[in-house]
Structure 1
């Protein structure tokens, strides 16, 4: 199927609650190890090691997801969340404001607390994250503009989970968007990038959504060309075959910004 016949992230059929139920919930999710367990374990190890730290973290991730921020709330005083669509922002705000129809993320909070050795304190962890999140920002017209530098001062860390492949339609877009994503990162600050490897689509209900297929060499090259030095390069190969996705694995990169790179 050509990419032109796939749905895209901004299409109205994108349902963030269905995304959670399909890929991140505690139900019968076939790729739960790859979509949730391994990422939160890696994040926990990085934050606990002291290799990633600072005052302010900017998160640009997929579909109103919050699980990547749980361990981050141990290390950062302020977290700002960026998304590109109203539906994803509304989905995130419902959890933040404890609305009745909010997505239930308790499974992931319990899993993170289990990894941290405090499995009975997941509700306290949930409140800790809510208090650490200081703002949710819509990035309007991101394809033609950079994130507004005036929204906040330079941040210490940018965390991006899955979204870069999804909003980029070409490899040139991927490289350009990576620079846009990190334009608010201070020199010496860090990028934590989670990117699917050699994946062309993901399913949401009956709809097939486009994702840009890139290999590990291209991801590493893009990060380096954006002015970063790679400090950690992790990879998890696909463990389960499912009709939901066609990925070969996932790359996780920790990199430090060494220079400004023009967009």
Structure 2
């Protein structure tokens, strides 16, 4: 029986099922391209070109994923990774500490070879990423101060994959959460978001998670009202026939923080 929950944090997420469903070698090809390959290519190109640059990055993204960070780790000096719930935090730390039952991401080696046109070993890239992850902590979006006692220095870049539509219960909460994200960024810093247009749910096993549907005009307005200048806004047409998630399109946005709001 399928169960529905209102927010991403309201049921313990089965992290292994999430990863196997959306980010694994067993993920249908078109879905894998949308969840994994597109953002890896976009991020690597963005940082390699120098369009976005900086020494520090904060990542606030869905699940215990590393693919987006692996694609850009050579361009940064330090990364802080924040997770919405304890299950994802625990899974992420398993990978960081190389525990026996940590998720195996070696299948990403083929994607990285395509992107970089190099045959560098995946193991070396993982070790580079681990070394640059200076902090892996909880982001409790139900609290006024989501990072609790953890005080983060403002970063040069903030990256979020499917973050705001997961933690925002309505269209009033979305810009409020965006404003909190902004507090972690330096003035002049870069916000990079990869997400879905008009998505209402995604499924993990028997659980169906309701999401906040947002159009591209709404996202753009939230960014400009939130003190950001949009530098790039790319729309990706949906090609996957899956019923696991009902998004209409995907988007990748690069915005620069130009004022405090």
TM-score, normalising length from structure 1? 0.93
Question: Displacement of 1:174 after TM fit?
Answer: 0.9
Counterparts of 2:153 and 2:259 in 1: how far apart (Å)?
A: 17
1:51 is matched with 51
Question: Displacement of 1:153 after TM fit?
Answer: 1.7
2:180 is matched with 180
2:236 is matched with 236
2:156 is matched with 156
Residues 96-116 of structure 1, C-alpha deviations (whole Å, 9 max, x = no match): 111111111111243123311
1:208 is matched with 208
SS of the residue aligned with 2:107? helix
Residues 152-178 of structure 1, C-alpha deviations (whole Å, 9 max, x = no match): 221100000112101111011111101
The runs of at least 4 consecutive aligned structure 1 residues that moved more than 6 Å come to none
Is 1:102 the counterpart of 2:102 in the alignment?
yes
Q: 1:148 to 1:187 in 2, by over 3 A?
A: farther
Contact 1:7 1:207 (C-alpha < 8 Å) held by counterparts: no
Q: 1:86 to 1:6 in 2, by over 3 A?
A: closer
Question: Displacement of 1:7 after TM fit?
Answer: 4.5
Question: Displacement of 1:119 after TM fit?
Answer: 3.2
User: Structure 1 stretch 186-195 or stretch 143-152: which is displaced more?
Assistant: 143-152
Question: Displacement of 1:146 after TM fit?
Answer: 5.2
1:133 is matched with 133
Q: 1:130 to 1:198 in 2, by over 3 A?
A: same
SS of the residue aligned with 1:106? coil
Is 1:22 the counterpart of 2:21 in the alignment?
yes
Counterparts of 2:232 and 2:140 in 1: how far apart (Å)?
A: 32
Q: 1:259 to 1:86 in 2, by over 3 A?
A: same
Is 1:124 the counterpart of 2:124 in the alignment?
yes
Counterparts of 2:95 and 2:39 in 1: how far apart (Å)?
A: 21
5+ residue gaps, structure 2, are none
Instruction: Give the 5 Å matches for 1:141-152.
Output: 142-145=142-145, 147=147, 151-152=151-152
Question: Displacement of 1:148 after TM fit?
Answer: 5.9
Counterparts of 1:204 and 1:27 in 2: how far apart (Å)?
A: 15
SS of the residue aligned with 2:187? strand
Contact 1:94 1:101 (C-alpha < 8 Å) held by counterparts: yes
Instruction: Give the 5 Å matches for 1:83-102.
Output: 83-102=83-102
User: Structure 1 stretch 131-140 or stretch 5-14: which is displaced more?
Assistant: 5-14
Query: By percentage of residues, which structure has more helix?
Result: 1
Question: Displacement of 1:130 after TM fit?
Answer: 0.7
Contact 2:57 2:159 (C-alpha < 8 Å) held by counterparts: yes
Q: 1:49 to 1:141 in 2, by over 3 A?
A: closer
TM-score, normalising length from structure 2? 0.93
Is 1:12 the counterpart of 2:19 in the alignment?
no
Question: Displacement of 1:184 after TM fit?
Answer: 1.4
